[in-house]
């Protein structure tokens, strides 16, 4: 990932993008280990986590994760997601966090040397370019090995460095701890976009 001890670094996580890539690659993220990795290898400033929550009074399966992140040093940016039914009758959730991530990236850029973005969304290309024009080095983490690839070509070309998620996943995976504790993974609202979605 090329973290440098003398660089002020912040992490920007598109929650849905990371969730889909990790699930596609067959692991679950250990966010404690992810934060520790940054704290040990750079002048770590802050970790931002972006997620769209279902706009409903029902209990969200994402809540245990966001609660844990809030109490363990992550800065949460949440907004209501729009829920709709697709042409086949399945319930879907739509909630794009690009604007929120872009605003925070540009607001933080004067205080950063290095921004690490976990997302594959090409809509972020212009935000990355703007941060670079302010002297910030930008690393993008996503996956070319997932099916389909999660990283857009425009974003990958714009970044100062692209890091394949599968290459660094062993540093913050929960695979071993899950086998020991046999705990069910926290489901993400984006799972409602899968073919396993129930109509309830």
pLDDT on residue 42:
97
Alpha helices in 72-151 (DSSP H): 98-108, 125-133
- Residue 9's alpha-carbon distances to 6, 23, 29, 35, in angstroms, are 9, 26, 20, 12
The H helix count followed by the E strand count for the chain is 8, 7
For residue 191, which of 13, 12, 28 has the smallest C-alpha distance? 28
pLDDT on residue 90:
73
For 134-177, what is each residue's pLDDT tens digit?
999 999 999 999 988 999 999 999 999 999 999 999 999 875 43
pTM recorded for the entire structure: 0.81
Spell out the CATH class of 6-174. alpha beta
pLDDT on residue 56:
66
Sequence ranges of the domains in the chain: 6-174
Q: What is the DSSP string of 139-184?
A: EEEE-SSSSS--S-HHHHHHSSEEEEHHHHGGGSB-HHHHHHH-PP
Query: Which residues in the chain show pLDDT less than 70?
Result: 1, 55-59, 83-84, 86, 91-95, 175-200
pLDDT on residue 79:
87
pLDDT on residue 194:
41
Residue 98, helix vs strand vs coil: helix
């Amino acid at each position: 990932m090329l973290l440098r001890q003398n660089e002020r670094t912040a992490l920007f996580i598109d929650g849905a993008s990371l969730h889909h890539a990790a699930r596609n690659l067959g692991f679950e993220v250990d966010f404690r280990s992810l934060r520790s990795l940054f704290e040990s290898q750079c002048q770590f400033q802050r970790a931002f986590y972006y997620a769209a929550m279902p706009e409903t009074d029902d209990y969200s399966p994402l809540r245990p994760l966001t609660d844990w992140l809030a109490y363990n040093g992550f800065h949460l940016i949440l907004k209501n997601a729009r829920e709709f039914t697709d042409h086949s009758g399945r319930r879907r959730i739509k909630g794009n966090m690009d604007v929120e991530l872009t605003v925070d990236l540009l607001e933080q850029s004067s205080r950063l040397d290095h921004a690490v973005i976990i997302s594959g969304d090409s809509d972020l290309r212009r935000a990355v370019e703007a941060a670079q024009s302010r002297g910030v080095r930008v690393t993008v983490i996503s996956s070319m090995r997932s099916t389909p690839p999660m990283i857009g070509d425009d974003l990958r070309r714009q970044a100062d460095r692209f890091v394949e998620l599968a290459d660094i996943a062993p540093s913050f995976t929960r695979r071993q701890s899950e086998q020991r504790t046999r705990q069910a993974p926290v489901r993400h609202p984006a799972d409602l976009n899968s073919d396993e979605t129930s109509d309830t």
